[in-house]
Each structure stands twice: as C-alpha cells, then as structure tokens.
Homo-oligomer: A and B are copies of this chain.
Amino acid sequence: MKNSKKPAVVLLSGGLDSATCMAIAREQGFLLYAISFRYGQRHRVELEKATLVAQSFQAEKHVILDIDLGKLGGSALTDSSIDVPKHESVDEIGSEIPLTYVPARNTVFLSYALAWAEVLGSNDIFVGVNALDYSGYPDCRPEYIDAFEVMANLATKRSVEGERLRIHAPLIHWSKEEIIRKGLELGVDYSLTSSCYDPLPSGLGCGHCDSCLLRERGFRQNSMLDPARAPR
C-alpha cells in the first residue's frame, strides 16, 4: 500500500503554516519528505519544532540544510544589528514590506526543494506560503509561485523527460483563522509549532512580533488560546 504513494517534498519551517501544509499533503496521500533550513535565523527553536512536526506526521525523511543566507545580510531575521519590529496589537502592523523580509528566501528554499524533488523522482512540492496575512512579502504572492513553477518546469532533467512538477501552495488565499481551522480538522498539534520571529529563551513566542500577533488572532478567531504561547 505504502509503495503506491507518491513522494512529495514539503518545506517545513516548524511554524503553524508549514505544519498545516504538511497535514494537507498527507491528507492528499503523499509520502512526506520534509526539508528545513538553518539559515542564520534568530528563531532557531523553529528547527527543533520542525523535527517534532516531521516526527508527528511520520515523514519518510526530514533533512535540515545549513545555508549561508545570513552571510549576504539585509534582514532583521538574520542580522542581529537590525531589531525585529514589535507591536502591541495586530492593528499596528504596517502594509509595507517589513524588516523581517529575508531577501529571496522562498526562492532559495524552493530551489533546494526542486533539487531534492529531482533526486527523489517527485513531481510535487508543498509550500505553506500565505498571501493574505503576510502583508507585503513579495515571494508569498500567487503570481510569484506560478512563475517559480514555470521556471522549475524548464530547470530539471525530469522536466526535459516530460514530467510535470507542481508547486502546491494550498494556504495561499486563506486567512490565519482558516488555516488553523483546517489544521485542527486534520489533527495538527499546534503546541509542537513555533511562529515567533524572536522567541523567548524558553522557546515560547514573544507575543509582540507580527507573526505572534497574527497567530494569536487566528487562534482567538477559532475560540481557543494558542497552545504554544507563553501565559500572560
């Protein structure tokens, strides 16, 4: 039975969105090959979370790649000289591209996923990008994902051989509320996830970065508390 399933590469950050995305890939019957990145991010606790999430979904394999994105600079997430912006409420989050944007991050991540898909003989990559809540990250927009898919279908040996690769971004048009609702339906254990850009030493969320505030609102809209949030 298991061998009739097809492999899919799933980008797994350890956050809420990618855990939900992985649950969707599993629901669709794929064998799960999870890939995470140690890229100089402040929030390295997310990699421990990614490992737990991959285990909870019985992924076939989980690789964590060390990449040097921080060496190129330019983001509050990888450059300790730039502070992560903090707010009191979700209403204070601006509409411009935030300082936490990491230049070309999704392009680099998807490129590695593409390389692995080629080696595994997979035609399916899942990525938990979301255009709605992540105000202003250019590489979370549908037109970007579509263009990456077109490029990917010219980039590889498999594409030359007539195979067609698909980038699945099932969360792209959903609100955080909808993402959490779907994840709860599929049995995602959100206590294993971490979305915070600047976590406390305990690994719990700070509660004030854009990511914490959006996440908290999503759980509130589902009439529950964030299971990974520090008590206040």
Contacts and interface: CB of A to CB of B under 8 A. Distances in A.
- Interface of A, helix, strand, loop or mixed by DSSP: helix
A157 interface: yes
A82 interface: no
Given A72-B63, A73-B119, A74-B119, A138 B155 contact: yes
Number of copies: 2
A160 B140 CA distance: 12
Given A68-B67, A151-B151, A103 B74 contact: no
A152 interface: yes
A157 B97 contact: yes
A129 B103 CA distance: 24
Given A63-B71, A108-B112, 12 more contacts: A72-B116, A73-B119, A74-B119, A103-B116, A103-B156, A107-B151, A107-B155, A111-B111, A138-B154, A144-B151, A144-B154, A148-B155
